[in-house]
Amino acid sequence: MWRMGNVSSSISLPASCFSFFLSITVNCTVTLDSCLSITYLHFGINYINLALQSTTFIMSAVQVLFNATPNISIAPESKRRGSWVPIRRKSECPLDVSIDRHFEAKIYTSGSTITGSVSLSPQTSITVDAFEIVFTGTSSTIVQMLHQGSTPKSSHKFLLLKMPIPESALPENGVLEAGFTYQVPFSFVIPYQLPSAACKHRDPTIRERHLHLPPTIGSWEHDDMAVHTININYAVEARGSFQTGKGKSMTLERTHPVKVMPFVPEQPPLHIVPGNPRYILSQEKTIRKDILSSKLGFIRASTGQPDSVIITSDKLQPADCSLNIDLEFWPNGKKEPPEIYAKSAAIKASTYYSTGHMSFLPDQHNFPSVMPNPILSFVLDEDATVSSSSKPAWVQTSSSPTPSPSVSRRGSENPDIGTEPSRITSRRGSKTSDIMRSEAPRYTATLPISITLPSPDNKILLPTFHSCLISRTYVLEVVLASRAHGSSFTLRLPLQIAVEGQGETGVNHVPTYEQVQANQDLFDTLPTYNIGY
């Protein structure tokens, strides 16, 4: 018998094998004397046992390998331990939050009304000690410091609206009887501006930006281009403390999250500090026919800040971005200007976050030299589609002593940013200014381009915003190239993304905290809020 695991094979040894080994033993016994006969008898028996074991193993292996239907017996599987124990279902929470006409992908914005009810269905009679319904906005960050071996966490509840409970919603004695369902209605209006207590920064400019509602982060169906260690959540929360019939305290809490894309108005152009390494609004290049040929001339590409990109609050679809690239060409001799086209474009989303209060605007200011809390940035690039409606038409003009690129209607507030090629021009390109200041003919042209940003089916573009813990900014990178000569230019432009309101919603129509508290203009539509921190 040969065993392997739970598989057993029965093997029968042929009778000829026993006859063979028995004859050997008999012959040894007859030929030798009695002493030797006993010795050879033991030897023969041991030899037979060894041969039987070897033959049994060989025959078992042959039968397992070549027999299509061996005798196999599988041991029955033992029952799982504790499989007879009945499963005990958890009792359902008697507290539930329901929002009217809500669905998973629904997006709320500033001025949106969130109505619904909280149902209480106790299984046993309980007494209400305290009960409240609130609408909250909370931001949370985790800063992973690998070199320190710690992960600091921080959270900030920047919005808290309390809904007053109608006296008729609950029994006067406060006892909720078993088997009955009690409905408590609620109604919230998402404001345009946070209360003044949400940010205590001393700089009025920074404080004003921090008092705008931030968008939801981390809960969208598609990638919002943010790191997973930060979140901004909005939710309707219902919580209460109760007493059971046996005098035991019981606390119940239920949360219903919602997605918020707040109304973000278009901001004025950024004030770009000279030498800001984030942006390149103008760049110069030396044009050659090939690597070994002489210079054909110098070309400058410049532009101003593009208009803000507007996205819809319901479909999150961004509008196209339009740019006019101003081109200037200084030929070396009687050379013709090259053909310039828009090669590619990309949008860079930068998310800044910290566990402490950020005391600067990352897209306008440099990082402070001393920071009580570390500030990290997460940058993600996404390609955009670039197209040009027409080719640039070069026009020959007379050279001016100090040429400067034209500025678009949203040009930088710093006029020197486009006329500072010192950090771009190389040492060998020092003759550029001499040629520009000479009386040689100069050509100018304008290259209009249109850029289509990623759709919400691929990436969610959040608006440009700044809050106490989290900020989001954008840079639009445009690459220009020459068809014949292969030279390329890279412009890095600040891009602001705003969110339009629904319908006629605007700054004058969206409720603010001042209007809610004073019941001005919206007395009939807004409930009374209690704001607490």
pLDDT greater at residue 45 or residue 281: 281
Residues found in the chain: 533
Angle at 192 between CA 189 and CA 195, to 5 degrees: 95
Cα(159)–Cα(449) distance, rounded to whole angstroms?
41
pLDDT confidence band for 236 (50 / 70 / 90): very high
211-215, 354-358, 391-395, 397-401 — which is least confidently predicted? Answer: 397-401
Token pair of 515 as six digits: 């209007």
Q: Which of 492, 449, 464, 483 is nearest to 215 (CA)?
A: 464
Q: What is the mean pLDDT of residues 493-514?
A: 66
Determine phi and psi for 523, rounding to 5 degrees: -65, -35
**Domain for residue 505, yes or no?**
no
pLDDT band (50, 70, 90) for residue 337: confident
Rounded CA-CA distance 333/45 in Å is 114
Alpha carbons 184 and 181: distance in angstroms, whole number: 10
Q: What's phi and psi for 21, nearest 5 deg? A: -70, -30
For residue 183, give the nearest of 305, 311, 251, 95 by alpha carbon: 95
pTM: 0.72
Asked if the model's pLDDT at residue 78 lies above 50, the reply is no
How is the chain split among helix, strand and coil, in percent rounded to 5?
A: 15, 35, 45
Whether 233 and 287 map to the same domain: the answer is no
Model confidence band, residue 49 (pLDDT cutoffs 50, 70, 90): low
Domain shared by 288 and 224, yes or no: no
The pLDDT-based confidence of 85 (bands split at 50, 70, 90) is very low
CB 225 within 8 A of CB 382: yes
The verdict on residue 72 lying in a domain is no
pLDDT for res 72: 36
Q: Of the ranges 308-317, 336-345, 412-421, which one carries the lowest mean pLDDT score? A: 412-421
Position 413 in a domain: yes
In the structure encoding, which two tokens stand for residue 234, read together?
């909005």
Contacts 24+ apart (CB under 8 A), 416-423: 416/274, 417/272, 417/274, 417/276, 417/279, 417/281, 417/282, 418/281, 418/282, 418/302, 418/304, 419/282, 420/274, 420/275, 420/282, 421/282, 421/283, 421/284, 421/300, 423/275
Given a cut of 80, whether residue 26 has pLDDT beyond it is: no
- What percent of the chain clears pLDDT 70, i.e. is strictly above it? 66
pLDDT band, very low/low/confident/very high, at 59 (cuts 50, 70, 90): low
Distance CA 416, CA 508 (A): 36
Q: Are 450 and 440 in contact (CB under 8 A)?
A: no
Q: Does residue 85 lie within any of the structural domains? A: no
CA distances (Å), origin 278, targets 193, 268, 384:
30, 18, 19
Is there a domain that residue 430 lies in? yes
Average pLDDT of the segment spanning 395-423: 48
pLDDT for the residue numbered 247: 80
Q: How confident is the model at residue 410 (pLDDT cuts 50, 70, 90)?
A: low
CATH code of the domain containing 225: 2.60.40.640
Q: Which residue has the higher pLDDT, 90 or 455?
A: 455
Mean pLDDT, range 291-314, rounded to an integer: 87
Same domain, 57 and 163: no
* Domain membership of residue 469 as a residue range: 282-499
DSSP 259-293: EE---BPPPPPP-PPTT-TT-BSEEEEEEESSSSS
- Distance, in Å, from the CA atom of 459 to the CA atom of 419, rounded to the nearest integer, reads 35
Name the domain count of the chain: 3
Which DSSP string corresponds to 85-126? SPP-PPPPPSEEEEETT--TT-EE-TT-EEEEEEEE--SS-E
Q: What pLDDT, on a 0 to 100 scale, did the predictor assign at position 311?
A: 95
Residue 516 lies in a domain: no
pLDDT of residue 352 exceeding 90 = yes
Same-domain check for residues 27 and 117? no
Is residue 33's pLDDT more than 90? Answer: no
For the chain, what is the mean pLDDT?
76
Residues 35 and 147 reside in one and the same domain? no
Which is higher by pLDDT, 235 or 16? 235
- Considering 66, 87, 121, which residue would you say is the last residue of a domain? 66
Exposure class string for 43-69: b at 16+ Cβ within 10 A, else e: ebeeebeeeeeeeeeebbeeeeeeeee
466 & 319 share domain: yes
pLDDT at residue 47, rounded to an integer: 52
Percent of the chain with pLDDT over 90: 47
Same domain, 197 and 346: no
Query: Of the spans 52-66, 76-90, 217-231, 426-440, which averages the highest pLDDT?
Result: 217-231
Q: Is the pLDDT of residue 280 over 80?
A: yes
Residues 234 and 132 in one domain: yes
Q: Is residue 271 included in any domain, yes or no?
A: no
- Higher-pLDDT residue of 319 and 416 is 319
Structure tokens at 204: 């009025």
Residue 117 bridge partners (DSSP): 98, 185
Q: Is the pLDDT of residue 239 over 80?
A: yes
Same domain, 454 and 419: yes
Residue carrying structure tokens 């969610």: 460
State whether the Cα torsion 396-298-283-424 is positive or negative. negative
Domain match, 341 and 217 both? no
Q: Which residues pair with 96 in a beta bridge?
A: 119
Do 297 and 422 fall into the same domain?
A: yes
Residue 520 lies in a domain: no
CB atoms within 10 A of CB 126: 23
Determine the average pLDDT of the residues in 96-119: 96
Question: CA-CA distance, 521 to 530, in Å (whole number)?
Answer: 18
Look up residue 116 and give its two tokens: 């619904």
Low-confidence winner among 162-171, 272-281, 444-453 (lowest mean pLDDT)? 272-281
Highest mean pLDDT among 124-128, 199-203, 274-278, 473-477: 473-477
Query: Are 310 and 455 part of one and the same domain?
Result: yes
Task: Give the CA distances from residue 122 to residues 117, 261, 416, 418, in Å, rounded to whole numbers and listed in that order.
Answer: 16, 36, 70, 69
Rounded to the nearest angstrom, the gap between the alpha carbon of residue 68 and the centroid of all alpha carbons in its chain is 58
> Which carries the bigger pLDDT value, residue 507 or residue 187?
187
What is the residue-wise DSSP string for 164-219? PPPGGGS-TT-EE-TT--EEEEEEEE--SB--GGG---S-HHHHHHHTBPPPPBS-
